[in-house]
Amino acid sequence: EKGTYPHFMLKEIDEQPFVMRKIIQEYQDENDDIKLEEDVRQAMAACDRVYIIAAGTSYHAGLIGKEFLEKIAQVPTEVHIASEFSYNMPLLSEKPLFVFISQSGETADLRSVLVETKQLGHPALTMTNVPGSTLSRESDYTLHLHAGPEIAVASTKAYTAQMAVLAILAVDTARAKGLTLEFDPLKELGIVGNAMEALCDQKEEFDQIARDYLSTTRNCFFIGRGLDYFVGLEGALKLKEISYIQAEGFAGGELKHGTIALIEDGTPVIALATQEHVDGSIRSNVQEVVARGANACVISPEHLTREGDAFSIPTVHPLLAPLVSVLPMQLISYYAALHRDCDVDKPRNLAKSVTVE
């Protein structure tokens, strides 16, 4: 089923523009408005706080989802790592809604939180790529990601699908609350799909970046601020899980509080700079690491690109920039793993779905 692709991961990266189109189609009604089940709408309207529960890449999508829900829909939102939540439950609000984000719908750490919160009588919504999965069956509501089967252990198209559906949910909730928005998510997701396609056509450039920055390195850092920080966390996870390069994502402003001590001559630092309001600050963080010898690779959208940046990505709505800026992360990780002769689709010590706690 890989067709002409050498790996599922590459195929799944390439499928992202189609997944965006599929999501638009599935979540659009005949008047071009958002189509969502009424009970999901009501659950969103009835809650006073959303608790997103997830693991790994899905947790990283949750971090972006919190920004969408708070900035677009003004719904207070917390994001929790599933395996931590069970043992360290925070003080809950009066009317919580639990949102479980899981590609597979089978992750045991999430299921144990679901069982626990159901016992407390709280409603649950699962966002999954597998509607018949355990989490979907045991939740009150399901939102389907429509990404198609994801085979590679490294999650790619499910992550962008999760963010797309979270954006749609946030906009729908905002509209139901009567908030006026300049933001048509379905139209914007169409633009995102085109941007993804343009990036998928530039694979040789990411291959080259992986050669230039990562072919011999032992470690690599990802920096960003705000949404870019969260995408950096995902970039680091992608890189470490398939290339075994030790990689970490950091908030640009935290560097000076300790992390900068790790920068040596030639240390690769991948910096994401897609958010205009923090552009000056992330640029000075880049200068700080370069001054200590880092090999900085800045990725910025066309309208913010400066001389010396390594790669320019198409400009999309700034809140949706993560859906586009993660593609370079995925492709650079893919080529880094390939250059190091790693088993891209089945990295060591990992399973596609983690069904034990």
Q: Which residues are near ligand M6R by CB under 6 A?
A: 55-58, 102-104, 107, 153-155, 237, 241, 353-354
Q: In this complex, which beta carbon is closest to ligand M6R, that of residue 106 or of residue 228?
A: 106
DSSP class of 229: H
CB of 162 to ligand M6R, least distance (A): 8
Q: Which of 274, 291, 287, 277 is nearest to 232 (CA)?
A: 274
Any bridge partners for residue 126, and if so which?
Answer: 100, 142
Q: In this complex, which beta carbon is closest to ligand M6R, that of residue 141 or of residue 294?
A: 141
Q: In this complex, which beta carbon is closest to ligand M6R, that of residue 115 or of residue 181?
A: 115
For residues 203, 227, 114, 12, the Cα torsion angle rounded to the nearest 10 degrees is: -10
CB of 258 to ligand M6R, least distance (A): 25
Q: In this complex, which beta carbon is closest to ligand M6R, that of residue 135 or of residue 289?
A: 135
Given 2, 71, 118, 352, the catalytic residue:
352
Give catalytic status of residue 352 as yes or no. Answer: yes
Q: Which residue is nearest to ligand M6R (CB)?
A: 56
CB of 103 to ligand M6R, least distance (A): 3
Consecutive H or E run containing 66 = helix 56-73
CB of 352 to ligand M6R, least distance (A): 7
> Is residue 246 a contact partner of residue 274, using CB atoms and an 8 Å limit?
no
- The CA distance from 321 to 327, in Å, is 10
Q: Which of 303, 305, 269 is nearest to 288 (CA)?
A: 269
DSSP 265-311: TT-EEEEE---GGGHHHHHHHHHHHHHTT-EEEEEEEGGG--TT-SE
Active site residues: 352
